[in-house]
Structure formats: structure tokens, C-alpha cells
Amino acid sequence: MTTALHKYSKHLSIKNLILEICKCFDQIPDNRPNNCSNGIPFSNFAKSAFAMMHQKYDSMLSFDTDQAEPVLQHNLETLYHVKDGRVPSDTHMREILDPIDPVEFRKPFKKLFSLIQRNKLLKNFEFKCGNLKDCYLMAVDGTGLFYSGECRCNECCVKNEGKSNESYYHNLMGGCIVHPG
């Protein structure tokens, strides 16, 4: 498997894959009034959020605290293509990213999936059962992303609606293609 991946190393290196993601973020239309041309570049919001998730920060606040660290600053500029070292605060990131249509964030996933398909790297993951062929196995699981008794948005699910212990939450269902063996 290592030798098979070796010939794709230029296209499928982590640096190139992150670059492809960042190019997709550059295409998201700026939804701010007057595009805030003198402020933080719009794509820096999505790139910073991606860097935070990719680096597995446990909270936006801890990412916000660490962003002044020289190593993180270097990585944000060189690996995640955050322009001018301008990283938004956790609150500013929420304010700008929350109104963006989630469809915009599917584009990087589709781009990477297409790249992997074109390079035939999913061939080893095909599953054949009876008349089914060229299918993939996908493991799925759900998890909670947010839970509060006070804060809510228009998209929140509501538990115990109308009762004194009413609470608000978001859930996520994630999937991963798995090898049939």
C-alpha cells in the first residue's frame, strides 16, 4: 500500500490537500456588508476554523489563546494559507461563519473525494456482495455537538419543550468509508 501511495505523493500530500481545501474557502462569497476590505480577509475565517479543527483544539477559546504562539502563527500562514497573519477571535469567527450556507463547506469535501476517486485510491475499499458491486461500506455514528439550557439558535433541536427543564442541542451524524476486511 505504501508503494502505491508513493506515486501519488505530490497530489495527495497533506500540504497539497490542505491547499485544495483553502482554495475552496477562497471561493466562498463574502457575506459581510461592504466586504470589510480593511479588516480580516474573509477566507481567513474559514481557514482559521479549519486549522483549529485540524489541529484538534478542544475549544475555540484555547485556539484563540494559542494563536499568538510563533509555531501556530507560522503554520497558519504557511500550511493553512491564512493571509497576513490575521486570525479572527473566537467570537468574531462565530459571527462571520454562522450565517454561511453549510453547502459552501461541502465543496472542500467533494473536491478531496473527487481527487481520491480520480486517483483510484478507493478501489481497495470496494465491497462486493451478491449482485452488488462497486459499493463501499460506511460506518456511521452520531454525537452531540452542543447542549445548553439557555443558549439557542433557530436550528437547535429542543428537548422537553415548554417545560421548566427545556434544553437546546445540536446533533451530528458522521460517516467513514471502511475497508471490507
C-alpha cell read off for 168: 437546546
Residues found in the chain: 181
- The neighbour count for residue 96, using CB atoms within 10 Å, is 21
Is residue 12 within 8 Å of residue 115, measured between CB atoms? Answer: yes
Per-residue pLDDT tens digits for 42-100: 999 999 999 999 999 988 888 988 988 999 999 999 999 998 878 898 888 888 898 89
Per-residue pLDDT tens digits for 4-16: 545 555 778 888 9
- The answer to which of 1-15, 54-68, 114-128, 165-179 has the lowest mean pLDDT is 1-15
